Chains A and B, each alone.
Chain A
Amino acid sequence: VAAHYIGWRVLSLLPVWLGISLLAFSLANLAPGDPAQMILLRQTGELPSEDAVQRLREQLGLDDPFPVRYGRWLADAARGDLGTSFRTGEPVLGALLERFPATLQLAVAGLLIGLLIGIPLGVISATRRDSALDHASRVGVLLGASLPNFWLGYLLILLFGVGLGWLPVAGWGTWQHLVLPALTLGVGGAASLTRLTRSMVLEELGADYVRTARAKGLPERVVVVRHALRNALNPIVTLTGMRFGGLLAGAVVVETVFAWPGIGKFLVDSIYDRDYPTIQGFVLFTGTVFVLLNLLVDLGYAWLDPRVRLAGRGGADGGR
């Protein structure tokens, strides 16, 4: 059943992937601006001649009709060839894969920090509702959610990089370099996870089965962790998956502030320069990652919650 379920889900990705590819190709090509001009402009720092622009347009195949270009690109993409970047001259897939590990490191570390702060704080906040700790955590959540990434990044650099000298200000390569950007990303995630965990656990704590568990004399820790938190996990997993996808799509501000050589800044520069192959390849690549993440989240539901598995077999309604 599981193999059938996974197989069906993977197959259903095909039309989604085609839709993403068409969207990626259309959006990149519909935006105003001429990539040939941008390439030449970057070379000389000044506007190029019309002849030079036209020669390069022909060389890049930009004068072919839209369906021809889309068909050519799609056929190549199906073979794993996303084309060559107009800006860097690198194969797009190689360029994305080269930068993706840096972004993955940052996204995972940021997510982990968010989870390690957000879930425990949300649970404590819910179990000690209206206590000083709850109020403090709510203020913290408000701050964490409203502080812009770049601002928090600068504050952390000022404190740990300039003031205390404990951590590098910017750059990439060692675990020390990862701490500040991951913390910058993680704080925002921690805020939303704390808020969600708190409200979900509060909701579960008011449910009948929790009253029953308490009436049975189970210790409060067991009631909260094994019963209430467990039932609250599904939306948290959903949020985590979505947030992780967002982080992978490029934490461009954090990458720029910390000179982190990830995918985000690479994409923004590609958009500015109308580097069609890179924009298209990136959208297709991250679209695929998003879809796969969603699949993983769905599979995660089934793994974490037996009711989902039973519903999949048509044996249960998924209710409590």
Chain B
Amino acid sequence: LPGNAAVLLRALTLLALAGVLPIVAAGCDAAETLPAGAPEPAERQELVVAAGADEFMLEAHRERLGIHPLHAGICEPLVRLTHDFRPEPLLATRWEYLGDNTFRFTLRQGVRFHDGQPLNAAAVKHALDRVARTIRHSYLEEESIRIVNDSTVDMRPARPNLRLVEQLVHPIYSIHAPGSDPTTHPVCTGPFRFEQYVRDDRLTVVRNAEYWGEPARLERLTFRFIPDENTRALALRSAEADVIFDVNRSMVASLEAARGLRVEAAPPGAVMLMYLNIQGSATHDLLSERAVRRAVALALDRRALVERLLEGHAALVHTVNPPEVLGEYARLVEGIPHDPEEARRILEEAGWRLEGSNVRRREGRSLSLTLIPQPGSIDPAVTQYVQAQLAQVGIQVRIEQFDPGAFTSRLNSGQFDLDIELPNQNDANPAFLLSLRWYPPANVRSAVFMAPGPHYDALVERALGATDHEEARQRAAEAMHLLLDREVAAIPLAGIYRIYALKEWVQGFDPHPSRANQGWASVWVAR
């Protein structure tokens, strides 16, 4: 070849080799995948659910394959969470408090694991000992579980904990079969059996025909991991997904308008909360003044936030967790109304004056607050809304956005005035959040900046020490009343709906307020 042509040929060969080889390699080790646009055979009871990112690859969740954060119906705990946040029997048919921090559970008879082993007290102890060993924040220790007889176990947490039954509804306390490996092939008692897990791609389960209860109607259920919410919506519009998780409210209208699709929302399982730094140091101590805190709460029109900004995909709540968690006692928490005039009056009375400016001042100091939203959970429109609302009464808000690492660092060092987060309620413990975020004995670093004081601590301890669920609800409501109505240490902004979109022929889907407890056994396909 002439020199120039040879040079070009070399260049092209180089590029072709670099380009083609990996593609060929990709084709050679191709995983089994759904062909694009392939029609499903009519009436086959198979469903594809597009979930978010795969979190099972994380060390924290590896022991929870198919269980949490994505609950695929493979495994079951002793008790489960109802839609109104109560514990109800599942693998345990009943329980009782024996005193001395000890609970006795009676196991359901005739239940078998997917591999044929019977469910008994030894299996429960084996499974929960493993949870105690592998999950750093477990409420149980290895010494906690004692076998009474083949169908009875006693549980005695190392630390006094009368909320144990309400906490055990969380799927992380699921019972795996002895000898099975939860990290690669979970074997449990649930309505679905594990079939396949491909990291970052999919988790597939199939019907457990031998299920002890009502068998699942679906033959196969595949969860595909699609982190991007827009792509999930497009997958639903194509033939690749039948149900999608976590629909952004901005997409709801277009999905509802699309032929063959529908949208369903779960009742709030999380409340968007504004935490106030009420014990801050020199630069962040403005909210140590109760009058300012009350003015902040009065200035916020939360109904408009729910109805207009969040377009009705949220509920107006006055509690720090879904009101159902407190049952009828939720009425003890009154909430602070929207009254900007009153907010202005309180601030004036406290000496915060406008003095011709848009921002109030007192003794040379501006009423300027720093707001840090929880990254990834809080819509920027919400923080801007809060900023605009507080500006109307002369309170300046500076919004600072961080990634999760920097956010927790700011939170732990008290370098904030306002913090908006979206904590989930995944168990039935009415004092769960109360005993974590505002209760210094829990030893959570940021609690010292938010703690209302000893009176509140005493009320929380009464809730934690209640032997009866209803009593715990009442005590928790009393603590919440002090926290929100009197101390204004937090402001509930909205109860957030979790939104799903489905193909119209997906039937029997019952959205649970706690996504961690979402069931699939009742779902079927009717094309």
Q: Residues of A at under 8 Å CB distance from B?
A: 31-35, 37-53, 56, 85-90, 101, 104-105, 108-109, 111-112, 115, 154, 157-158, 161-162, 165-178, 225-227, 229-230, 233, 237, 256-259, 261, 265, 269, 271-274, 300, 303-305
Which one of B2, B200, B230, B407 has the highest number of Cβ atoms from chain A below 10 Å of its Cβ? B200
A154 with B234: in contact, given A87-B58, A168-B240, A175-B23 (CB under 8 Å)? yes
Q: Are B240 and A34 in touch, CB under 8 angstroms?
A: no
Assess the A259–B227 pair: CB atoms within 8 A.
Answer: yes
Verify B33–A108 contact, CB threshold 8 A.
Answer: no
Q: Which residues of A contact B225 (CB under 8 A)?
A: 259
How many Å from the CB of B501 to the closest CB on chain A? Answer: 14
Q: Does A230 lie within 8 Å of B4, measured CB to CB?
A: yes
B27, CB-defined interface residue at 8 Å:
yes
In contact, A34 and B10 (Cβ under 8 angstroms): no
Answer whether A38 and B234 are a contact pair too, CB < 8 Å, given A43-B137, A173-B30, A173-B31. no
Q: Report chain A residues within 8 Å CB of B10.
A: 303-304
B23 touches A105 (CB 8 A): yes
Tell me if A39 and B60 are in contact (CB < 8 A): yes
12 contacts between A and B (CB under 8 A): A31-B405, A31-B406, A38-B405, A47-B408, A111-B19, A161-B36, A162-B234, A172-B200, A173-B30, A174-B27, A272-B404, A272-B405
B359 within 8 A of A: no
Report whether A256 and B409 are in contact in the complex, using a CB–CB cutoff of 8 Å.
no
Asked if B239 is at the interface of the complex by the 8 Å CB criterion, the answer is yes
Contact present for B410 and A32 (CB under 8 Å): yes
Q: Which residues 218-249 of B have a CB within 8 angstroms of A? A: 224-228, 230-231, 234-235, 237-240
Beyond A32-B406, A49-B443, A109-B22, list 8 extra A-B contacts (CB 8 Å).
A47-B436, A50-B444, A115-B15, A154-B231, A157-B234, A172-B31, A173-B26, A271-B405
A49 to B15 CA separation, bound complex (whole angstroms)? 54
Contact indicator A105/B26 (Cβ below 8 Å) = yes
Closest to B443 in A: A49
Q: Is the CB of A259 within 8 A of B31?
A: no
How far does the alpha carbon of A158 sit from the alpha carbon of B236 in the complex, in Å? 11
Closest CB of chain B to A180's CB: distance in Å?
10
- Report the minimal beta-carbon distance from A129 to chain B, rounded to whole angstroms: 22
Could you tell me if B60 and A43 are in contact, using CB atoms closer than 8 angstroms?
A: yes
Q: Which of A43, A53, A259 contacts B200 (CB 8 A)?
A: A259
Do most interface residues of chain A lie in helix, strand or loop, or is the interface mixed? Answer: helix
Chain B interface residue count, Cβ-Cβ cutoff 8 angstroms: 72
CB <8 Å contact, A273 and B201: no
Total number of A-B contacts with CB less than 8 angstroms? 213
A272 to B407, CA, bound (A): 10
**Known contacts A48-B444, A259-B231, A300-B14: A112-B19 contact under CB 8 Å:** yes
Question: Would you call B19 and A108 a contact (CB within 8 A)?
Answer: yes
A126 to B26, CA, bound (A): 36
Alpha-carbon distance between A173 and B33 when the two chains are bound, in angstroms = 7
CA distance A62 to B11 in the complex (A): 49
Interface contact A41-B408, CB-CB below 8 Å: yes
Does residue B462 face the partner (Cβ distance < 8 Å to A)? no
Asked if B59 and A85 make an inter-chain contact with CB atoms under 8 angstroms apart, the answer reads yes
CA distance A38 to B2 in the complex (A): 62
Is the Cβ of A165 less than 8 Å from the Cβ of B226? no
User: Would A304 and B7 count as touching, CB distance under 8 A?
Assistant: yes
Report chain B residues within 8 Å CB of A90.
59
Complex: chain A residue closest to B232, CB-CB: A170
A33-B409 CB under 8 A given contacts A51-B443, A112-B15, A165-B36: yes
* Complex contact A108–B405 (CB within 8 A): no
> Once the chains bind, are A265 and B36 in contact (CB under 8 Å)?
no
Whether a CB of chain A sits under 8 angstroms from the CB of B290 is no
Complex Cα distance, B348 from A257, in Å, reads: 51
Question: Which residues from chain B contact A176 at a C-beta distance below 8 Å?
Answer: 35-36
Q: Is B147 an interface residue (CB 8 A)?
A: no
Complex: how many Å from CA A261 to CA B199?
A: 8
Residue of A nearest to B26 (CB): A105
Q: Name the distance in Å between B299's Cβ and chain A's nearest Cβ.
A: 27
Q: Are A170 and B226 in contact (CB under 8 A)?
A: yes
Identify B37's interface contact among A47, A53, A166, CB under 8 A: A166
Q: Judge whether B253 is part of the interface by a CB distance below 8 angstroms.
A: no
Cα–Cα, bound, A48→B444 (Å): 6
What residues on B are CB-neighbors of A105 within 8 Å?
A: 22-23, 25-26
Instruction: List B contacts of A52 (CB < 8 A).
Output: 136-137
Complex contact B137–A227 (CB within 8 A): no
How far is A165 from B443 in the complex, measured between Cα atoms in Å? 54
B474 cross-chain contacts in A, Cβ below 8 A:
none
Instruction: Give chain B nearest CB distance to A83 CB in angstroms.
Output: 13
Contacts of B282 in A (CB 8 A): none
Contacts of A85 in B (CB 8 A): 59
Measured CA separation A56–B136 after assembly (Å): 10
A44 x B137 contact (CB < 8 A): yes
Indicate if the CB atoms of A33 and B406 lie closer than 8 Å: yes
Enumerate the 10 nearest inter-chain pairs by beta-carbon distance, A residue then B residue, closest first. Answer: A33-B405, A165-B37, A89-B59, A112-B19, A261-B200, A49-B443, A173-B31, A226-B4, A32-B409, A43-B60
A47→B426 contact, CB < 8 A = no
CB distance from B326 to the nearest CB of A (A): 19
A70 to chain B, nearest CB (A): 20
Q: Bound complex: CA of A256 vs CA of B376, how far in Å?
A: 15
